[in-house]
């Protein structure tokens, strides 16, 4: 609960440091306890119920957090696809189980200890003293009473006591540390030979070969499943066309932000900083006399090229106003007088000038109109979306709704699961095409009446009219593709046979280099590598195989690009060196956390069995807006 409370607060003061460790409650097995019972609660653990409202708030905050990370708004349906609903309910149930166990163990906090902890919390202090006003402001921002906050804080502190004990009690056994260190830090040197695809020759297939290939792989030569679809789209562009923008509004908007339509003057500014005015004056004299170049003076001053060139900048981009005034007043390629700037004494030169451009209302009228129309349309999207839903509830078809509300309607005769028509072209030029097609091809898509959220803030609705099942293409129409597939498969088969034969002969004692001519490639050798190193061309699966192969023995597998096979030989095995202090610290920290995580998971699993846990799936679905699914 407090994890959700923390996310809800946006100010630094409200970022409460409650210290609970985030272990893997999300993997806590809850699938076996999903039942349907009652209403008003999504779960029960022992004598405690997790209310629907409590779950809904936690779920929404988790959905918001993941949406920020993904830089796009996730719907409740997408959140469920990612398993967020189960993760949240598992965390709530596990937290409640820990609270009940704490009460059973007689763990408690006195009011004085709780208050002292809050008053000494840096998040509630100003200048080292408890800030009562700031604390009360935080509570108001959260919409929470002081009593409720103290209750949550007490629960969280008790959870923290138990959770912290799992970390404090962890000791990594030395045999475990030694085994994992030896495994992670062992190094190997590999010899490897990549078989050139030209090393094998595939004979031309006859009609029987091609027919067999076709008959054995018929699903590959089928047309995709096509669906006939009606699509209603509510887009920002639709509403912009319906919005009226008066000339008076355009004039007022332009006057309020006319500077944003102008292009300010830019200059490429160079400056040299000096330690004092006398040095700068001497340098300026040398520059104007022609005895020294700008580069010479910069070098004498110890400045690098990156120090001298400030780039092509606007006046507002220069931090020092005094230097900015000089830089934007001197002539091109002239030296300024010595400038006593805010941070340094400098000489300035301008080598490039891009004049500014001032746009009149006539120049940018259409841009202003476009922006105003977009702003108005954005504010009206939700109202128009409600209008669509009202008309659909009234039984109107998508086309009737589109006609009445002047929205985009399209009937697509045939589209496959990738969004392409039979001619191979996209059926819709929209950044949301894949999102729409995913709904079209979702199971029971016609039973899902929810709107599809679009990138521009709009929405779309689909109606699948019919489905055309995949059909086998006649052999004659795909004969060229069948031949190409046959040649590729035969090449891979022959390469695989060659790799197997070379591996067997190397394992029998022949050197890998003896097969360079046959493979049409040279043997290469890696530097000493660990399991976490994947050399170029060698695949991850081959690396796993190489570290499971004895010294001197060989193996083979596909190259990283899957274009051919590679034969390798383990040339050398280098045992792990003694762990450094840094390696010991890092590995111990990781193992301690993993052991604590495992112990905590086992502990919460035991509590679940002790107290009895159940989840109301119907109520859970309802809480995230998925009805009775």
pLDDT at 444: 67
Q: Give the pLDDT band (50/70/90) at residue 189.
A: very high
> Using CB atoms within 10 A of its CB, is residue 141 exposed (0-12), middle (13-18) or buried (19+)?
middle
Cα–Cα distance, 507 to 510 (Å, whole number):
7
pLDDT tier, 445 (very low <50, low <70, confident <90, very high otherwise): low
Looking at the fold, whether 487 and 455 belong to one and the same domain comes out as no
> Among 234-243, 329-338, 491-500, 583-592, whose mean pLDDT is lowest?
234-243
The bridge status of strand 339-340 relative to strand 309-314 is unpaired
Residue 67 belongs to a domain: yes
Q: What's the pLDDT band for 4 if we cut at 50, 70, 90? A: very low
Cβ-proximal residues to 201 (8 Å cutoff; 6+ apart), any chain:
494
Confidence of residue 621 (pLDDT cuts 50, 70, 90): confident
Q: What mean pLDDT do residues 614-621 have?
A: 83
pLDDT band at 127 (very low <50, low <70, confident <90, very high): confident
Separation between Cα atoms, residue 171 and residue 595, nearest integer Å? 9
Q: For position 132, which CATH number holds?
A: 1.10.4030
Asked, for residue 583, whether it belongs to a domain, the answer is: no
How much is the average pLDDT of 216-220?
A: 93
> Look-up: residue for tokens 């912009």?
240
Map tokens 């959770």 to a residue. 163
| Same domain, yes or no: 41 and 103 | yes
Beta bridge partners of 219: none
Looking at beta carbons, which pairs linking 368-373 to residues 24 or more positions away fall under 8 Å? 368/250, 368/253, 368/254, 368/261, 369/245, 369/250, 370/240, 371/253, 372/243, 372/245, 372/249, 372/250, 372/253, 373/240, 373/243, 373/245
- Please check whether residues 284 and 213 belong to one and the same domain: no
Q: How far apart are alpha carbons 3 and 61 in whole angstroms?
A: 9
pTM of full prediction above 0.75: no
Same domain as 155, residue 18 = yes
Strand intervals (E) in 254-363: 266-274, 309-314, 339-340, 345-354
State yes or no: pLDDT of 19 exceeds 50. no
Both tokens of 503, joined, read: 């591996």
Does residue 503 share a domain with residue 444? no
Give the mean model confidence (pLDDT) for residues 467-478: 93
Question: pLDDT digits over 303-342, tens only?
Answer: 877 778 888 999 888 888 999 999 999 999 999 999 998 8
Q: Give the pLDDT band (50/70/90) at residue 626.
A: low
List the 226-234 sheet strands across, edge first. Answer: 408-415, 226-234, 459-468, 452-453
Give φ, ψ of 449 to 5 degrees: -90, 0
Q: Is 222 helix (H, G, I), strand (E, B) or coil?
A: strand
Select from 468, 501, 516 the last residue of a domain. Answer: 468
For residue 207 the two structure tokens come to 């009609």
**Distance of alpha carbon 219 from alpha carbon 215, whole angstroms:** 9
The total of other beta-carbon atoms located within 10 Å of residue 432's CB is 19
Tell whether 149 and 56 lie within a shared domain. yes
Residue 391 has pLDDT above 50, yes or no: yes
Whether 180 is covered by a domain: the verdict is: no
Instruction: Give the best-scoring range by mean pLDDT among 198-207, 288-297, 434-443, 445-454.
Output: 198-207
273 CB-contact burial (10 Å; exposed 0-12 / middle 13-18 / buried 19+): middle
Question: Cβ(219)–Cβ(400) under 8 Å?
Answer: no
What range does the domain containing 565 cover? 187-218+479-574
At 413, the pLDDT band (50, 70, 90 cuts) reads very high
Domain assignment of residue 175, yes or no: no
Give the mean pLDDT of 22-44.
Answer: 49
Nearest to 91 by CA among 158, 24, 183: 24
Query: Are 31 and 161 found together in one domain?
Result: yes
pLDDT at site 598: 84
What's the confidence (pLDDT) of residue 514?
A: 96
What pLDDT does residue 327 have? Answer: 93
State how far the Cα of 329 lies from the Cα of 325, in Å rounded to an integer.
6
Question: Are 130 and 14 part of one and the same domain?
Answer: yes
Average pLDDT of the segment spanning 366-380: 81
Mean pLDDT of 564-576: 95
Work out the mean pLDDT of the chain and round it to a whole number.
84
pLDDT of residue 463: 92
In the predicted model, is pLDDT for residue 142 greater than 70? no
Which of 300, 323, 354 represents a domain boundary (last residue)? 354
pLDDT of residue 15: 31
Instruction: Please indicate, yes or no, if residue 315 is contained in any of the structural domains.
Output: yes
pLDDT score of 148: 74
| Domain count of the fold of the chain | 4
Residue 48 has pLDDT above 70, yes or no: yes
What pLDDT was estimated at residue 1? 31
Point out which residues pair with 352 in neighbouring strands: 268
Indicate whether 496 and 566 sit together in one domain.
yes
Rounded CA-CA distance 410/402 in Å is 9
Most confident of 132-136, 176-180, 510-514: 510-514
544: helix, strand or coil: helix
Task: Give the domain CATH number at 533.
Answer: 3.10.50
Structure tokens at 260: 């944003």
Q: Are residues 12 and 127 in the same domain?
A: yes
Cα(112)–Cα(67) distance, rounded to whole angstroms? 40
Residues sharing a CB contact under 8 Å with residue 373, sequence separation 6 or more, in sequence order: 240, 243, 245
Contacts (Cβ under 8 Å, ≥6 apart) of 598: none
Q: Which of 123-127, 175-179, 354-358 has the lowest mean pLDDT?
A: 123-127
Task: Decide: 245 and 256 in contact? Cβ < 8 Å.
Answer: no
Question: Tens of pLDDT along 225-275?
Answer: 999 999 999 988 888 888 888 888 888 888 888 777 888 899 999 999 998
Mean pLDDT (whole number) for 182-205: 94
The answer as to whether 520 is a domain residue is yes
Q: Specify if 156 maps to a domain.
A: yes
437 within a domain of the structure (yes/no): yes
Share of the chain above pLDDT 70, in %: 90
Alpha-helical runs (H) found in 143-199: 146-168, 174-185
Pick the more confident residue, 191 or 364: 191
Looking at residue 447, what is its pLDDT?
Answer: 56
Q: What is the mean pLDDT of residues 520-538?
A: 90
Reply yes or no on whether the pLDDT at 21 is more than 60: no
203/267 same-domain check: no
Residue 36 has pLDDT above 80, yes or no: no
From start to end of 369-517, where are the E strands? 408-415, 452-453, 459-468
CATH number of the domain where residue 337 is located: 3.10.50.40
For residue 275, which phi and psi values (nearest 5 degrees)? -75, -25
Confidence of residue 467 (pLDDT cuts 50, 70, 90): very high
Query: Measuring CA to CA, how many Å separate 537 from each of 186, 357, 527, 564?
Result: 21, 54, 14, 10
Q: How far apart are CA 449 and CA 396, in angstroms?
A: 13
pLDDT at residue 345 is higher than 60: yes
Among the candidates 468, 494, 529, a domain finishes at 468
Q: Which residues contact 540 (CB under 8 A, 6 or more apart)?
A: 534
Structure tokens at 263: 């292009």
Own/partner pairs, 103-106, CB within 8 angstroms, 24+ separation: 103/158
Higher pLDDT, 12 or 598: 598
Same domain, 202 and 342: no
């Amino acid at each position: 609960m407090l994890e959700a409370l923390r996310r809800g607060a946006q100010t630094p003061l409200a970022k409460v440091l409650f210290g609970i460790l985030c272990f893997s409650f999300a993997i806590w097995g809850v699938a076996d306890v999903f039942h349907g019972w009652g209403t008003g609660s999504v779960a029960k653990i022992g004598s405690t119920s997790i209310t629907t409202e409590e779950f809904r708030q936690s779920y929404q905050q988790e959905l918001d957090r993941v949406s920020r990370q993904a830089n796009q708004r996730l719907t409740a349906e997408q959140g469920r696809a990612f398993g967020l609903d189960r993760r949240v309910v598992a965390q709530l149930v596990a937290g409640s189980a820990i609270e009940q166990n704490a009460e059973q163990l007689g763990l408690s906090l006195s009011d004085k200890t709780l208050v002292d902890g809050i008053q000494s919390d840096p998040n509630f202090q100003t200048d080292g003293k408890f800030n009562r006003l700031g604390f009360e402001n935080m509570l108001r921002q959260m919409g929470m009473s002081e009593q409720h906050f103290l209750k949550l804080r007490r629960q969280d502190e008790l959870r923290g006591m138990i959770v912290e004990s799992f970390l404090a009690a962890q000791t990594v056994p030395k045999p475990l540390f030694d085994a994992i260190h030896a495994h992670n830090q062992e190094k190997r040197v590999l010899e490897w030979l990549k078989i050139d695809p030209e090393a094998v020759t595939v004979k031309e297939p006859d009609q029987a070969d091609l027919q067999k290939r076709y008959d054995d792989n018929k699903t590959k030569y089928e047309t995709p499943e096509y669906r006939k679809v009606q699509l209603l789209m509510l887009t920002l562009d639709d509403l912009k066309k319906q919005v009226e923008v008066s000339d008076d509004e355009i004039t007022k908007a332009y006057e309020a932000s006319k500077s944003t339509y102008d292009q300010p003057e830019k200059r490429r500014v160079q400056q040299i900083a000096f330690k004092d005015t006398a040095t700068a004056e001497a340098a300026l004299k040398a520059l104007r006399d022609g005895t020294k170049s700008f580069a010479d003076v910069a070098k004498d001053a110890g400045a690098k090229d990156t120090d001298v060139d400030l780039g092509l900048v606007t006046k507002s981009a220069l931090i020092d106003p005094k230097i900015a005034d000089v830089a934007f007043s001197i002539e091109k390629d002239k030296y300024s007088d010595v400038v006593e700037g805010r941070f340094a004494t400098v000489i300035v030169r301008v080598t490039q000038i891009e004049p500014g451009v001032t746009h009149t209302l006539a120049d940018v009228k259409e841009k202003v109109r476009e922006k105003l129309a977009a702003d108005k349309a954005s504010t009206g999207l939700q109202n128009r979306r409600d209008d669509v839903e009202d008309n659909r509830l009234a039984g109107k078809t998508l086309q009737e709704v589109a006609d009445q509300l002047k929205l985009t309607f399209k009937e697509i005769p045939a589209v496959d699961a990738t969004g392409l028509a039979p001619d191979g072209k996209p059926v819709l030029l929209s950044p949301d095409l894949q999102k729409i097609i995913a709904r079209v091809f979702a199971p029971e898509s016609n039973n899902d009446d929810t709107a599809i959220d679009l990138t521009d803030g709009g929405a779309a609705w689909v109606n699948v009219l019919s489905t055309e099942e995949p059909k086998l293409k006649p052999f004659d129409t795909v004969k060229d593709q069948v031949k190409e597939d046959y040649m590729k498969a035969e090449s891979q088969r022959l390469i695989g046979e060659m790799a197997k034969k070379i591996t067997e002969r190397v394992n029998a004692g022949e050197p890998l280099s003896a097969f360079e001519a046959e493979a049409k490639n040279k043997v290469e050798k890696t530097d000493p590598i660990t399991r976490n190193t994947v050399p170029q061309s060698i695949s991850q699966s081959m690396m796993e195989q190489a570290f499971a192969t004895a010294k001197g023995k060989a193996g083979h597998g596909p190259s990283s690009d899957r274009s051919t096979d590679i034969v390798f030989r383990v040339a050398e095995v280098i045992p792990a060196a003694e762990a450094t202090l840094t390696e010991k610290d890092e590995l111990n920290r990781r193992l301690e956390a993993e052991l604590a995580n495992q112990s905590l998971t086992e502990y919460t699993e035991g509590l679940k069995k002790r107290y009895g846990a159940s989840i109301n799936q119907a109520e859970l679905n309802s809480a995230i807006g998925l009805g009775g699914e």
